[in-house]
Chains A and B, each alone.
Chain A
Amino acid sequence: MNLTINGKSHEVDVEAEMPLLWVLRDELGITGPKYGCGIAQCGACTVHVNGTAVRSCQLAVGDVDGDITTIEGLGTPEALHAVQAAWIEHQVAQCGYCQSGQMMSAASFLDTNEDPSDENIDLAMSANLCRCGTYPRIRAAIKTAAKNLRSA
């Protein structure tokens, strides 16, 4: 089957029920999306399908019906997305393992809400677990990103 990931087309030969996460990680070597729980509890595996955040551990590859963006496609060290730039500015990451998923959730959320309140942010981000406890910085970084996106 054919998948479009970060603007590039990939041919994979896998079972239709294989979760997208494992197709990305083990078949294609795209390791930005992380395995954390496998049961939609942590959000570490978050990617975008047609711009919307989804848990790739829950999405069978056969059910993918659009273009996939992973953290690698959101922006790069040379061309940062506003969310990534804010994450660097606030030095959000500790171990960093949850952060790909956090940023993918944040980016898709900011597409729908350009001036979020604390409550909006808390609600949108509560499906993403951070065992290192970086929540206060994530909040701050999202506000910075929102501001920069508005003025962009």
Chain B
Amino acid sequence: MGKLKTFTRRAFLVGSSAIAGGVAFGIYAYQTPGKNPLLADVDNGEAAITPYVKITADGITLITPRTDLGQGAYSVQAALIAEELDVELDQVMVDPGPPSPVYYNTAFSEEGAPFRPTDESFIAEAARTGVDSVIKFLGVQATGVSTTVPDGYEKLRRAGAVARETLKAAASKETDIAVSELKTANGAVIMPDGSKRTYVSLAAIAATFEPVTEVTLRDPTQWRLLGKPMLRHDTIAKSTGTLTYGIDLAFEGMVHATIKTNPRQGGKMKSFNAATAEKMRGVQKIIPVDNGVAVIADNTWRAFKAADAIEFDWESAPYPAEMDEHWNTLENSFNEKQLDARTRDDGDAITALAEGSAINADYRAPYLAHAPLEPISAIVKVTDERVDVWNGTQIPGFAKDAVGKLTGLEPENVHIHVPYVGGSFGHRLENDIIKQATKIAMEMKGTPVKLTYSREEDFVHDFPRQIAMGKARGTIKDGRVETYDLGIAMPSVISSQMGREGISIPGPNPQIMAGAWEQPYAIPNYRVFGYRAPELAPISSWRSVGASSNAFFHESGLDELIHAAGADPMEERIRLMWHESSRKTLEAVAEMSNWGSDLGPNRGRGVAFCMSFGAAVAEVVEVTNTEQGIKIDKVFVAAEVGKIMDPINFENQVMGGVVWGLGHAMNCEITYSDGVAEQSNYHAYEGMRMYQCPIIEVRGLENGTKVRGIGEPPVPPAAPALANAIFAATGKRIRKMPFNKHINFV
């Protein structure tokens, strides 16, 4: 029955657009699965050419389905379309569009297939395509793992080209001038005599055409927009306080809610007493939701205050209450039974190590909160007919399903609006708040409910980065690294995260060894094994995911071995690196930092490399050991991304990644005591502040064969480069993050 209903509705959609004089395309034919979701909203005289371009009397809208998490994703997606469509960025509107399987993210599959990104063999490519079809099938519309540019690079330029050629075909039909005589620029088709037909004026007729799908993409040498500095379309608004973030949205009659749930994430609530809170000014309603209580008031501060006045009796945490047990669980996971798949095992490390190991180093990386500066919030309005949700989710498709299930409304009546967000770093891959806000709004039908977490609530329910442990051993011979054996143990982020969405992902989890097993070093005996620890605290993807901990282990261990061999950290890495475009990143930072030159007393430099998400990044950190502690002076970064879409945004992303990586390594961790995260606000979780921020020099390289995203890859090498620099300056080897537990910083 359900199936039949869906089928009929779809048939009706296509039919009705045909009856109305072919205003909207029924089906578009190229490379996209599923149906064009824009057709549902297209009226007479409008055209939705491909799911990425919509033309109405108001103008041209480019659909940029990947959430902009503050990294300029909307602008780069728009530029990819605009480049081929021949419109200027100030001529178009940008809209994230409705959640739809059409916008599935192909590049996610690259991180899911068991092949090194340096492996471009047929089998590796075929397997990625295999995973791709699964992702296509699931219709995963997600933003993450630096996939926005890799995923959109072809797809969005092609969408622009298809729309352009279709509009030309429409103009040709109207004017009887051959398509080959027509040109396009500035959102118009240009006739041989120089006269113009704007795209908007051609929309109605273009809508009667099947899209022209035979298109050739322009060579990068002809690009007008891409590869050149762009003014991000949100820069002016963000520089004048006029951009509306999710937390700023307000609607007529809206109420302000907050929530307090068991700070032991996932633990239940036994009871609560809201007698005092109920009487406080502005409080309208107090209701139990999930494992806690929601307060609905007429002002956010009043809701916060009332929530603080409620007394709770919580149950204990569904995970170990104290850190020791978390670490012991990891320590005990290094065994045959918990070995995950996807191992690297070149040469014969076991035999080589039988004679003894040159190093025996244990590393630790703690839980870390995402803590984007905008605390999470969601607005939901439920009526009997429809539900509207405003939230900056990275996974709108999942949100739509969850809200549909909760409200019992059909998917077409569930509307997810994705506003601007004040950062994410993986935080917005969780939809808890949407579900909570929906439950509250269902109790207040017709009233828009804005649910805002206090910073404290946000911290204790952050779903932190995984904790992880690494064990490095190796041998050296004739001043060279001969054997490197690294074991890594952590719980599976993907299982924890997808489990919360009700999805179980079978098989090994590639993130357990990401940033370590696929590094392009030719070490004769080279073994990287990953061990899956049982689930502990609930965890989530954190900017650069597995590589965020693993590169610290891998590059610190390698550094220790190189020092044991008496070799130079830079030269030995360059010697070992077989992958050419990766090696060039090392050579570039060596040159930028004048590696080998004398830094003077109490100073040191460290290098680290990591290929993550297919992007090779090498970093050199320079520090001074001052009386007050370590001062980070300078950082040099060389990053290989195949093609740089916007040099300004590229540099901004790289700098941000370096600050992120260094700041957390210096002084951040989430620890549990009595099952509760001990860090509840930025006073206990500082990150880097301006006075600690080094000078950062960035160089982008374009030697690789594939286009890579840059949101995450600068993060992994930052921590090990810092640790290696501290060792060079002080002789002290720090093996546990955060480093400020072992050494002072200025």
Name A residues whose Cβ lies closer than 8 Å to a Cβ of B.
Answer: 14-15, 18-19, 21-22, 25-27, 29, 31-39, 41-42, 44, 70-72, 74-77, 80, 84, 87-88, 91-100, 103, 121-123, 125-126, 128-139
**In the complex, A31→B302 CA distance in Å?**
17
Please give the distance in Å from B634's CB to the nearest CB on chain A: 11
Mark B226-252 against chain A: 1 for CB-CB distance below 8 A, else 0: 000001101111111111110110100
B681 part of interface (Cβ distance < 8 Å): yes
Given that A42-B682, A91-B231, A95-B423 are known contacts, is A31 also in contact with B244, CB under 8 Å in the complex? yes
Interface range, B side: 35 or more
B425, A27: Cβ atoms under 8 Å? no
Please give the distance in Å from B424's CB to the nearest CB on chain A: 8
A91, B232: Cβ atoms under 8 Å? yes
Contacts of B244 in A (CB 8 A): 31
Name the residue of chain A whose CB is nearest to the CB of B71.
A94
Number of A-B residue pairs, CB cutoff 8 Å, is 188
Contacts of A36 in B (CB 8 A): 373-375, 455, 682
B421, A95: Cβ atoms under 8 Å? yes
Interface residues of B in 144-162 (CB under 8 A from A): none
B690, A131: Cβ atoms under 8 Å? no
- Quick check: which of B358-366, B438-446, B656-664 contacts chain A, the rest being far away? B656-664
Name B residues whose Cβ lies closer than 8 Å to a Cβ of A.
Answer: 69-72, 231-232, 234-245, 247-248, 250, 256, 281, 299-302, 304, 371-375, 420-423, 425, 452, 454-455, 648-649, 652-653, 655-660, 663, 681-683, 686-691, 693, 695-696
Please give the distance in Å from A136's CB to the nearest CB on chain B: 5
A99, B238: Cβ atoms under 8 Å? yes
Which of these, A38, A130, A134, contacts B454 with CB under 8 Å? A38
A96, B682: Cβ atoms under 8 Å? no
A136, B655: Cβ atoms under 8 Å? yes
Please give the distance in Å from B690's CB to the nearest CB on chain A: 5
Contacts of B69 in A (CB 8 A): 95
Which of these, A71, A77, A100, A129, contacts B687 with CB under 8 Å? A129
Specify which of A77, A92, A128, A132 lies most central, judged by the most chain B CB atoms within 10 Å of its CB. A132
A70, B241: Cβ atoms under 8 Å? yes
B281, A15: Cβ atoms under 8 Å? yes
**In the complex, A136→B662 CA distance in Å?**
14
Please give the distance in Å from B421's CB to the nearest CB on chain A: 7
B239, A131: Cβ atoms under 8 Å? no
Given that A29-B250, A80-B240 are known contacts, is A133 also in contact with B299, CB under 8 Å in the complex? no
Name the residue of chain A whose CB is nearest to the CB of B652.
A94
A34, B247: Cβ atoms under 8 Å? yes
Name the residue of chain A whose CB is nearest to the CB of B661.
A133
**In the complex, A32→B241 CA distance in Å?**
5
B301, A131: Cβ atoms under 8 Å? no
**In the complex, A96→B236 CA distance in Å?**
10
Which of these, B248, B302, B688, contacts A133 with CB under 8 Å? B688
Which of these, A91, A97, A134, contacts B656 with CB under 8 Å? A134
**In the complex, A19→B300 CA distance in Å?**
11
Please give the distance in Å from B183's CB to the nearest CB on chain A: 32
**Contact sample, A vs B, 24 pairs, CB 8 Å cutoff:** A18-B299, A22-B299, A26-B299, A31-B244, A35-B300, A35-B375, A35-B452, A71-B241, A72-B240, A80-B240, A91-B649, A94-B72, A94-B423, A95-B70, A95-B374, A97-B70, A97-B373, A97-B423, A99-B241, A128-B690, A130-B659, A133-B656, A133-B657, A137-B655
**In the complex, A139→B231 CA distance in Å?**
19
Name the residue of chain A whose CB is nearest to the CB of B660.
A133
A131, B240: Cβ atoms under 8 Å? no
A26, B234: Cβ atoms under 8 Å? no
B652, A131: Cβ atoms under 8 Å? no
Additional A-B contact list (20), CB under 8 Å, known A36-B682, A122-B693:
A35-B455, A38-B455, A41-B683, A72-B242, A74-B241, A77-B240, A84-B239, A93-B235, A94-B656, A95-B373, A95-B421, A96-B422, A97-B373, A97-B423, A99-B238, A121-B690, A122-B690, A122-B691, A126-B689, A135-B690
A88, B235: Cβ atoms under 8 Å? yes
For the complex of A and B, the 9 pairs showing the least CB-CB separation, nearest first, are A95-B70, A97-B422, A133-B659, A32-B241, A71-B241, A96-B238, A133-B656, A22-B301, A31-B248
